Amino acid sequence: MHDNPRGGQIAQAVNEARGVLNAAACDFAEIRLFAGISNTITLSGSHIESFSVGESIGGSIRVLRDSAWGFISFNDISQLRKRFSRALDIASAAPSRERHAVANMPAGRASFETIMARNLETVSPAEKLECLQSYNAILRSSQSIATTRATYHDTAGRYAYLNSEGTEYTYDRAYCGISLSAIARDGSRIQPFSDSVSGYGGFEIAMNREDMAERVVRTAVDLLSAESLGGGIYRVVADQKLTGVFIHEAFGHLSEADFVFENPRLREIMVLGKKFGPDNLNVIDCGTLKDCAGYIPFDDEGVLPGETRLISNGCLSGRLHSRETALKMGEEPTGNARAVGVTHQPIVRMTNTYIDNGDRSFDEILDAASDGVYACGVIGGETNLEMFTFTAACGYEIKGGRIGKIYRDIVLSGNVFTTLTRILMIGDDRRMFGGLGGCGKAGQSPLPVSFGGPHILIDGVMIGGNL
Amino acid sequence: MIDLVAEGCAGAARWFDVIETETSHTRVSFKNNTLYSITSREQSGVGIRVNVEGRTGFSYTNDKARAIDAARRAVECAAFGEEEDLELPSSAEGIFNPYDTGIEGFSLSSEIAGIEEAVASIKNRFPSATVDADSSCTTGRTRILNSRGLDASYQSSIYRISISATIVMEDGSRVDVWDGFSTPAPASIQHLPEAVITQLGNALTVRKIPSGAVPVLFTPKAVARLIGILTAPLSASSVWRGISPFTGRIEERIFNPAFTLRDDPVLADSPFSYPFDDEGVTAKTKDLVACGTLQRFITDLRHAARLGISAEGNGGRNYYSLPSPSFSNVVIVEGREPCSSLMAGISRGILVDQFIGLGQSNTLQGDFSANLDLAYLIENGTVIGRVKDCMIAGNLFSLLAGEVVFSAERERRGSVTAPYILFPSVDLIG
């Protein structure tokens, strides 16, 4: 167990929560509690923009009473009994026309703990600052760099989850990461580039990232003289990171069952077994990958995650569920009900989502692309569940299967129902990516997730740009 | 509080300030045409910034009883902090409460009934639509204290409502539209279902438009998103960091003379107004761009000191972060022509309302490239259907410097008040 100064307060609240839930007069109830400490350091250029340490404590209660949900959240975790009756009152104030219910799960009891090679609490503030300063010095090493932003963030605390089924989980969680950004400038041309890494673990996650800092500064400077790619329809090779964001936006969100069960027509379209892509396309969401930012030992409804195969051999084979969507669709919960913090309600979210390896080498893919664009890295992505965008941090011309000149950021766009069928080749070199950012949905952002895949070749991708 | 913080600082502080916030929030959520959940949230916290021997440290807690520990931590952090000296305000003038007592009339049952009525009227017109809605009431209190004797606070209130409708076609294509507003107190939502119905009606027929440069009319809702590309480099932090293309160009005419952009912290009926910022600096209305000419940048105290400019109430923060320059209400001044005559002048063009992926380009230079989540084809001045599966790309700074027309009508969308904006030529990729 980590040395959590608020651990005692959580332990006391857990005792009270247990008593409250044992006596709960409702269909289902859960109590979530968290207390922790965060450290954040931000450097910009030659300045220390902020050096802060702060603490957060809070909790929430969600009850299902007479088929209606009530949810309350708070900072003060000392009066759970009183708050529980308030949550029941709120649920009663919601005369639901639709009957909400959840899939029941067997009770579980366990304690989880992040393994830290270098315990965050034993690393001095001075060492955290020095480490970040060393990366910032690399970011500033080119004369073309106008400014930088280097951020270090860690948070360590205890999370407790209890429900009326008797489940009781505690998780001593430590999360750490850095984000490095350099902005190159030449007269009126201003060119940013950034990268980030994060995960559950100790200070080791932030250490030895000199390579990342060097890559960031080099790419920002290279892009300064890069041209923009003109708008049009292109054959695109996506690198592993962009493949990850592609599958997150192009299919991951569509797999979230709350989107599906809400709409009768989408339920008809999203039937299991439906062909979505080529025979060698396999898409997986897996919350148990400990090295990835989307790792969870249990979800925020107390369900243990597993590997969910979303697409197998090109066909729809599964989807991501909360307890409620699973019951509604007659499927099993998958452990994908997640909240951005204890004061938010769990909703269906991804964890670590990826396209599994195919059997092509990167060289074979470039050969097959012949003429096109090699799109690399990620700025972001967004979907409306039909159309989606995914933005590459930079790109390269491919001519006759060979990589040529560099292009600046590229916004790519596709359609969730057709773009997957245009995947022509899948590589054998999958990697996973995370970072201090995360995924946003229904006002809850950023939720730590990871994404990845091998290099892939996609035909007919729309790219926005000047004509 | 001030005593606790002073005790925690143990005489070490050259200066300090404290932000205390409290909010109470209640929300009704409808999903799939029916009430889904009711949520209640209470949050509070204290942030303490301390300057010790010229260096600034910061800490926070959401347990007020432990403010003294946070103050001690802030003093410890100061050893590693930025060297700076700020001129904290000793008083705040013209204090008002952006609070409407009407918020106290927020009632769960009347919100539920109002939304049910709206759902019914949308479903009546479009039975295959699924409707989601959120209605919420937030009240709060912000208090700023500092070592120069300032102790000022205000109360605030926000009512928010949004209604969205989705129709999924047989091929999986979909129309998603929404409308909503935020006000200091609950207001009639009767016009929302009609707005949603009109948008759905216009969007059901899909029209094709070939790639090329076309006239584009942005709705105030779209402008509210697009303008973020311009407001970022108008911040003193962008100037200080050397990444604003507008650095050193005060009093230069950069944009079309019809373009005026204002920061208005005292805008009437806006829940985003405030009497003083999160550093206690009295908030003033100011033009950033007046008739196309750059006037100033918005700043907090830190960047005011760094750049030698004056702070006018744009230091924004949560209790858990240090301040940074932030806008209050962004106002784009309206033009003379009604929107109908802007539309009438378009023989073939598009009306853009919602984007996907906006802001993921190199926005520092003003570039944008986005898929059109919701846009309509205009032919001979009339909306004749939706355009989709296409993107627009351009440079916002160049567009605002060139030919541009602002409508006479304007709408407040969140914290941005904007007219319709017409650019005669924007690249469209279809």
A385 part of contact set with chain B, CB < 8 Å: yes
CB-based burial, B271-281: b 16+ in 10 Å, e otherwise: bbbbbbbbbbb
pLDDT at position A4: 56
| CB contact at 8 A, A211 and A139 | no
Among B35, B360, B371, the residue with its CB nearest the CB of A380 is: B360
CA distances from B193 to A432, B124, B127, B165, B202 (A): 44, 11, 14, 9, 14
Parallel, antiparallel, or unpaired: how do β-strands A232-238 and A372-376 relate?
parallel
A34 part of contact set with chain B, CB < 8 Å: no
- Which residues, at least 6 apart from A5, have a Cβ–Cβ distance to it below 8 Å? A37, A55
Under the banding of pLDDT at 50, 70 and 90, the label for residue A2 is very low
Among residues A372, A387, A456, which one has the least CA distance to residue A422? A456
Question: Cβ–Cβ of A73/B60 closer than 8 Å?
Answer: no
Which residues on neighbouring strands pair with residue B57, listed in sequence order?
B50
* Nearest CA distance, B290 vs chain A (angstrom): 23
pLDDT tens digits in sequence order for chain B, 430 residues long: 777 777 777 788 999 999 999 999 999 999 989 898 899 999 999 999 999 999 999 999 999 888 999 999 999 999 999 899 899 999 998 899 999 999 999 999 999 999 999 999 999 999 999 999 999 999 999 999 999 999 999 999 999 999 999 999 988 899 999 999 999 999 999 999 999 999 999 999 999 999 999 999 999 999 999 999 999 999 999 999 999 999 999 999 999 999 999 999 999 999 999 999 999 999 999 999 999 999 999 999 999 999 999 999 999 999 999 999 999 999 999 999 999 999 999 999 999 999 999 988 888 899 999 999 999 999 999 999 999 999 999 999 999 999 999 999 999 999 999 999 999 999 999 8
Q: Where are the alpha helices (DSSP H) in B284-395?
A: 301-307, 339-344
* DSSP three-state, residue A153: strand
B3 part of contact set with chain A, CB < 8 Å: no
Please give the biggest Cα pair distance in chain B. Answer: 73
Q: What is the rounded CA–CA span in Å between residue B25 and residue A130? A: 41
* pLDDT, tens digit (0-9, with 9 covering 90-100), for B51-79: 999 999 999 999 988 899 999 999 999 99
Among residues B224, B144, B138, B217, which one has the least CA distance to residue B179? B224
Among residues A150, A157, A145, A289, which one has the least CA distance to residue A206? A150
CA dihedral of A301, A303, A306, A311, whole degrees rounded to 10: -50
pLDDT at position A1: 40
List the structure tokens of B148: 């120069």
B-proximal residues of A, 350-379, CB under 8 Å: 379
List the structure tokens of A86: 């308030």
- Which residues, at least 6 apart from A370, have a Cβ–Cβ distance to it below 8 Å? A235, A398, A400, A401
Q: What is the rounded CA–CA span in Å between residue B57 and residue B73? A: 8
- Which residues, at least 6 apart from A363, have a Cβ–Cβ distance to it below 8 Å? none
* Nearest CA distance, B336 vs chain A (angstrom): 31
Question: Cβ–Cβ of A50/B82 closer than 8 Å?
Answer: yes
Question: Cβ–Cβ of B429/A463 closer than 8 Å?
Answer: yes
Question: Cβ–Cβ of A389/B172 closer than 8 Å?
Answer: no
Q: What is the rounded CA–CA span in Å between residue B20 and residue B43? A: 11
Question: Which chain B residues are closer than 8 Å to A129 by Cβ?
Answer: 80
B-proximal residues of A, 65-124, CB under 8 Å: 68-76, 86, 90-91, 93-98, 100
What's the angle, vertex CA A73, arms to CA A70 and CA A77, rounded to 5? 125
* DSSP three-state, residue A223: helix
* Nearest CA distance, B242 vs chain A (angstrom): 6
pLDDT at position A467: 82
Amino acid at B299: T
Among residues A384, A251, A417, which one has the least CA distance to residue B171? A417
B105 part of contact set with chain A, CB < 8 Å: no
Parallel, antiparallel, or unpaired: how do β-strands B55-61 and A47-65 relate?
parallel
Q: Give chain A's mean pLDDT.
A: 94
- Best mutation target among B19, B25, B39, B128 (most A Cβ atoms within 10 Å) is B39
* pLDDT, tens digit (0-9, with 9 covering 90-100), for A197-219: 999 999 999 999 999 999 999 99
Q: Which residue of A has its CA nearest to B169?
A: A265
* Nearest CA distance, A94 vs chain B (angstrom): 7
Q: What is the rounded CA–CA span in Å between residue B280 and residue B17? A: 9
Counting one residue from chain A and one from chain B, the pairs whose CB atoms sit within 8 A come to: 249
Average pLDDT over residues A20-49: 95
The secondary element (H helix, E strand) that includes residue A127 is helix A125-139
- Which residues, at least 6 apart from A266, have a Cβ–Cβ distance to it below 8 Å? A259, A260, B168, B172
